[in-house]
Amino acid sequence: MPQATAGATSVAQRLWEGEQVNNRSPEAVVAVVGRVCAQLRTGIGRWIGAEGYRTLLERGLAETRTEHPALAELTCRGEANDRLAEAVRVHGAIPVVDAFIALVALLVELLGRVVGAEMAARLVEQSWAATPSLSPNTKLEGVS
């Protein structure tokens, strides 16, 4: 079973922290996770295609769910926020956030096997932000 490296995990944690969902209220978690799932689907799908993204995501979810049951009902493929809200209600906001960070880290890791760690981190970061924010020469912290 693939696991995310410290660098990939650092990228995912940094991106989540940038959302400033400090209180981790259920509503805020649902809104951010829902928005980021949609942005990742669009952004990464633009580079590897819809089918490539679906395959990457399904593998990431399958691997992450073993340690994070909060992802059991989520697909991150456009489900309504009511499924996210139910996961937060059942598991709590913090376990959903932890599971989501683990999923994003594994997506960076898996994608990195194809395009390289730094490019994978760039693609996820740009998709997360929904706008290209890095210059080609920017070195990402925690990624080698």
Q: What is the pLDDT of residues 43-90, one digit of tens each?
A: 888 888 889 888 989 999 999 999 999 988 776 666 556 788 889 999
Residue 25 vs residue 79, higher pLDDT: 25
d(CA 116, CA 143): 10
Planar angle of CA 47, 37, 112, nearest 5 degrees: 45
With contact defined as beta carbons under 8 Å apart, do 108 and 59 qualify?
A: no
d(CA 133, CA 126): 6
Task: Tell me the per-residue pLDDT of 101-121, one tens digit each, with 9 for 90 and over.
Answer: 999 999 999 888 877 777 777
d(CA 6, CA 112): 13
